[in-house]
C-alpha cells in the first residue's frame, strides 16, 4: 500500500533544495563578499610626528580628503612614533617637514594598511609640491610687476633657473618599514591564507573527537583535543616556517598560539556538538567559517572592515587568533592580552561543554530506559532463559550509557 505521507516528504525535500539551500548559500557568499567589497580605512590609528605647521596642514588635508579614515596620534619625534608602531598602538606614522615626508609603516601589522600609508604619503607630497610651486609662481609674478626696465636682463636669467627652482621645491617621500614581514613572504600572503585552513581543521578535530565511539569518557575527549591540536599546530608551523619561511620569529610562542587557536575552534565545535548533537556541527561551522573567518580582517585589517563587523570578528576565534598570531610572531606579544583572553574564553567554554554536557542532555539515572522497560515486559519462554538474557543486555547498555559521563 502506498504511503500517503511520502508525497508530502518529497515536496518538503524539494522545498529545502529549492528555497532553503539557495538562501543559505546566498548568505554565505554575502558574508565573504560584502566585507571584501567594502574595504576602506575607518579610524585607522596613525601617528603624526611633530606639531609644526607642516604637520598641521597634513592632518587638515587628510581630514578633509578622507573624513573618518584615520585616528591621528601626535608624537614628539620619530623615535616615539617607532616605539608606538612596535607596541601596536598605531599602524604607522607620518613625519612631515618642509621639503620631505617620511612614512613610517609596519608591513607585518598589515600589508594593505602599509601600502595605503605609502600612497597617502605620496599624495601629501604631491599636494605640498603643488602648493610650493604655486607660491613660487606667485612670488615671481609679484617680483616681475615691480621690476625696473634696467633689470630686464636679470629676468631672463631667472626664467632659465626656474626649472631648477621647481625641482628643488619638490617634496620627497621616504618610506621606512619599521616592522617588515618575512622576506620569503613579502606580501603576507602565506600568513593571511592560513586563517581559513586553521578554522576548518579546528572544526574537523572537534567533530571527530566528539563523534568517535572509542572516546567514551569526557576526559578522554579533552585529552585527545589537547594532543591533536598541539600536534596539528606543530605540523602547520613546520609548513609555514620550515617550508615557506612565513613565521620567522618567536618559534615556541608562535607554535603555542597556533595550538591555542586550533583548540579554541575545536573545543567550541566539540562542545556544541556535545550539547546539540549533529546539528551542532552545522551551527559551529556557520559561526566560525561564515561569520568568524569572513569578519576576521586577516587579509587586510579589522579597521578596514565595515563598522561593527570588525568588533564581531575580533570576538570570535578566527579573528582573535589571526591578530594574536601576528602580535606574537612579529611584535613580541605586544597588545595581545585582549586576543588571548578571547581565545581562552572560547576554549574554556568549549571544554566545559565537553566535560559536563552529558549532565544537560542525559536522562536521570533513576529513569528506566526504553530498552530496560521493554526487557522487563518481554515474556520468557519456559526454560529458555530469554528474559534473563534480554534484561542483562539492557542493563549492560545502560551501564555503557552511564559510563559516557
Q: Please write the tens of the pLDDT for every residue from 203-247.
A: 999 999 988 888 878 899 999 999 999 999 999 999 988 888 888
CB-CB neighbours of 391 under 10 Å: 16
Residues 6+ apart with CB under 8 A from 123: 65
Residues of the chain with pLDDT under 50: 1, 5, 152, 156-157, 160-165, 363-405
Q: What pLDDT was estimated at residue 165?
A: 43
In degrees and rounded to multiples of 5, residue 96 shows phi and psi of: -105, 130
Q: What pLDDT was estimated at residue 34?
A: 81
Q: What pLDDT was estimated at residue 353?
A: 93
Q: What pLDDT was estimated at residue 62?
A: 87
Q: What is the pTM of this model?
A: 0.77
Q: What pLDDT was estimated at residue 369?
A: 43
Residues 6+ apart with CB under 8 A from 36: 299
Q: Please write the tens of the pLDDT for every residue from 14-39.
A: 777 788 778 888 887 877 788 778 88
Q: What pLDDT was estimated at residue 143?
A: 66
CB-CB neighbours of 379 under 10 Å: 7
Q: What pLDDT was estimated at residue 28?
A: 78
Distance (Å) of CA 74 to CA 51, 127, 176:
8, 22, 18
Amino acid at each position: 500500500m502506498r504511503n500517503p505521507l511520502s508525497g508530502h516528504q518529497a515536496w518538503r525535500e524539494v522545498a529545502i533544495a529549492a528555497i532553503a539551500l539557495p538562501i543559505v548559500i546566498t548568505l554565505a557568499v554575502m558574508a565573504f563578499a560584502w566585507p571584501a567589497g567594502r574595504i576602506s580605512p575607518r579610524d585607522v590609528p596613525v601617528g603624526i610626528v611633530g606639531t609644526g605647521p607642516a604637520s598641521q596642514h597634513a592632518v587638515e588635508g587628510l581630514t578633509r580628503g578622507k573624513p573618518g579614515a584615520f585616528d591621528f596620534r601626535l608624537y614628539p619625534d620619530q623615535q616615539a612614533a617607532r616605539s608606538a608602531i612596535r607596541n601596536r598602538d598605531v599602524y604607522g606614522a607620518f613625519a612631515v617637514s618642509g621639503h620631505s615626508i617620511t612614512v613610517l609603516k609596519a608591513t607585518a601589522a598589515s600589508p594593505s594598511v602599509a601600502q595605503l600609508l605609502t600612497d597617502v604619503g605620496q599624495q601629501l607630497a604631491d599636494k605640498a609640491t603643488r602648493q610650493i610651486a604655486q607660491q613660487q609662481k606667485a612670488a615671481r609674478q609679484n617680483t616681475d610687476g615691480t621690476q625696473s626696465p634696467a633689470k630686464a636682463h636679470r629676468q631672463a636669467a631667472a626664467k632659465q633657473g626656474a626649472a631648477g627652482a621647481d625641482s628643488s621645491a619638490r617634496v620627497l617621500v621616504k618610506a621606512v618599514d619599521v616592522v617588515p614581514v618575512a622576506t620569503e613572504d613579502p606580501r603576507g600572503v602565506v600568513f593571511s591564507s592560513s586563517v581559513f585552513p586553521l578554522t576548518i581543521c579546528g572544526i574537523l578535530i572537534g567533530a571527530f573527537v566528539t563523534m568517535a565511539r572509542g572516546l567514551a569518557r569526557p576526559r578522554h575527549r579533552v585529552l585527545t583535543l589537547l594532543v591533536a591540536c598541539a600536534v596539528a599546530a606543530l605540523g602547520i608551523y613546520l609548513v609555514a616556517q620550515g617550508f615557506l619561511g612565513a613565521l620567522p620569529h618567536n618559534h615556541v610562542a608562535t607554535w603555542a598560539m597556533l595550538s591555542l587557536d586550533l583548540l579554541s575552534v575545536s573545543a567550541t565545535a566539540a562542545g556544541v556538538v556535545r550539547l546539540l548533537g549533529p546539528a551542532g556541527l552545522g551551527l559551529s561551522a556557520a559561526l566560525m567559517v561564515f561569520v568568524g573567518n569572513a569578519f576576521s580582517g586577516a587579509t587586510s585589517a579589522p579597521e578596514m572592515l565595515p563598522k561593527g563587523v570588525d568588533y564581531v570578528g575580533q570576538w570570535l576565534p578566527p579573528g582573535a587568533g589571526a591578530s594574536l598570531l601576528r602580535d606574537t610572531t612579529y611584535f613580541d606579544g605586544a597588545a595581545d592580552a585582549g586576543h588571548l583572553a578571547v581565545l581562552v574564553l572560547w576554549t574554556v567554554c568549549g571544554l566545559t561543554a565537553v566535560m559536563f554536557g552529558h549532565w544537560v542532555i542525559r536522562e536521570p539515572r533513576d529513569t528506566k530506559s526504553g530498552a530496560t522497560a521493554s526487557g522487563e515486559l518481554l515474556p520468557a519462554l519456559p526454560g529458555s532463559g530469554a528474559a534473563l538474557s534480554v534484561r542483562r543486555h539492557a542493563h549492560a547498555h545502560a551501564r555503557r550509557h552511564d559510563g559516557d559521563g
